Amino acid sequence: MSLAIFDLDNTLLGDDSDFLWGQFLVQQGLVDEAFYARENQRFYEDYKTGNLDIFEFLAFSLKPLVEHSRLKLNRLHQQFMLESIEPVMLPAAQNLLEKHRAQGDTLLIITATNRFITGPIADALGVENLIATDPEVVDGQYTGRVDGIPCFQEGKVERLKVWLRENQQNLADSWFYSDSHNDLPLLEQVTHPVAVDPDETLADHASAKGWPIISLRSAE
């Protein structure tokens, strides 16, 4: 029995849920359209080039959570799932998850995107274990701050180490599937790193290392 770890955005999903959430907020008229669309795009480009300031981005992306009640946010997320997430769920990704599930592997999603966005997505994918960036909650309300280490780049490795200790797991015969060169620190830690529809930097690195390169978008 192995540990099968999966990145979420542009790996199990055919798009980036964090970016889509920003677009959804703009479409709902809940944020300033010109400013939010521009900044959302800027941060996404920084992420793709490996230049994202994670704390600056989180200050931006978590702010809307402060401005609405948990009840309203949950209703918005249900709509977001229907309109933005279900259309980018990939049948081949479901098949890959099922393959590992049938083998008795422990499934784990690890993502930089915050838990408010990704918790329901992990549930929809049938994956119980999720490591995500955690928004701080005080007295039942989001504060706009981060609780603990952001789950990004080396932070994914640190957060995974804690999870492994807490769940009596290890990386013996482990798998990690990702699309992004931002995940190279974790890809280097596992037994079976797999590049999934990789960006150019990760594709070059995977080719040089002899790692498998697969696509989960072939049916798109």
Query: Annotated catalytic sites, by residue?
Result: 7, 9
- The DSSP string of the chain is --EEEE-IIIIIBSS-HHHHHHHHHHHTT-S-HHHHHHHHHHHHHHHHHT---HHHHHHHHHHHHHTS-HHHHHHHHHHHIIIIIGGGB-HHHHHHHHHHHHTTPEEEEEEEEEHHHHHHHHHHTT--EEEEEPEEEETTEEEEEE-SS-SSTHHHHHHHHHHHHHTT---TT-EEEES-GGGHHHHTTSSEEEEES--HHHHHHHHHHT--EE-S-TT-
